[in-house]
Amino acid sequence: MARVAFFGVGIMGEPMVVRLLGAGHGVVVVPHRARAAVERVVAQGAVEARAPADAVRQTEVGIMMLPRGEDVEALLFGEDGAAAGMGPGYTVIDMGTGFPPTTRRVAARVLERGGRFLDAPVTGGPRGARDGTLTVMVGGADATLAAVRPILEALGSRIFHFGDVGAGHTAKLVQNMIAIIASAGIAEGFALAAAAGLDVEQLFAMLSASTANSPALQYMVPKVLARAFDTVSFRLDMAHKDIRQATALAREMTVPLPVANGATELLQLARALGFGGQDSTAIIRGLESILRIEVGRAPVARSPREPG
């Protein structure tokens, strides 16, 4: 069993730590803004270190579950950074959603110190983290993946190795981009339906029995109808960050992404209206605000304007 330093005991990180403990791995955590989560995992067997470098000195593997690659770089190489505690062969696994050029820069700095690096972002949400059924997308050396595979298998049921460092984060940006585009389409469709006076619950039932059905539809629409935006699985601000990273990567590669750019605008609208801290399904709230409707309330038909 491995000794693992875990950084980022948040919505996803807490159940991931619990999975590692349940698999018999030793886990060391550090103080975090989610203090209650740290206390819960310590009560279940994790050890709390005083600082990142102290956590690294006690372990062989460090898992970073942080929002951005810049956060990983700052934690490792900033003042009193975790890298100060790294010995030869120490393995860093970045399991957040990073920007591939930043990932490759961070990995190079880890390798310069004699360490090893994988980017291994995940999908599956808090439920997948609790159940150990996350899907893991890996970039990095074959030998490094083989060495830490038992750790990743405690967290995920499917592991896909896409290639060298940065490939895992590229795959994750593509996955999130597609999911966010789907959410944007659902938001626009239901906003149009509500503005036209359709019964949106009946519409949901029809779509569920049609070729438009999808996991995105089944996740998003019940939350919209229940107005459950404060129950956060994936914060809207993070969705905005991820799709902006995808479109930035595409610009570097001169790949046009007109649909993704449109979804980005819809997320920016929702953020500008103050919904960034809510669940990503709140992408619909910007449209609701403009149209002065609330999907799920009694429909009020809006007549289309005459052309000309």
Active site residues: 172
Q: What's the rounded Cα separation, in Å, for the pair 115 and 123?
A: 26
Joined together, the tokens standing for residue 41 give: 């995992």
Type and span of the H or E element at 62: strand 61-64
Measured in degrees and rounded to the nearest 5, phi and psi for residue 6 equal -120, 125
* Residue that is written with structure tokens 């730590």 in the block: 17
| Long-range CB contacts (within 8 A, 24+) of 100-104 | 100/166, 100/167, 100/169, 100/170, 100/173, 100/249, 101/166, 101/249, 101/252, 102/68, 102/69, 102/70, 102/73, 103/69, 103/139, 103/165, 103/166, 103/169, 104/165, 104/166
Give the Cα separation of 169 and 189 in Å (integer): 30
Give the Cα separation of 35 and 105 in Å (integer): 31
Which residues share a beta bridge with 161? 138
Distance CA(238)–CA(240), nearest Å, equals: 5
Of the candidates 259, 292, 260, 258, the one whose C-alpha atom is nearest the C-alpha of residue 273 is 292
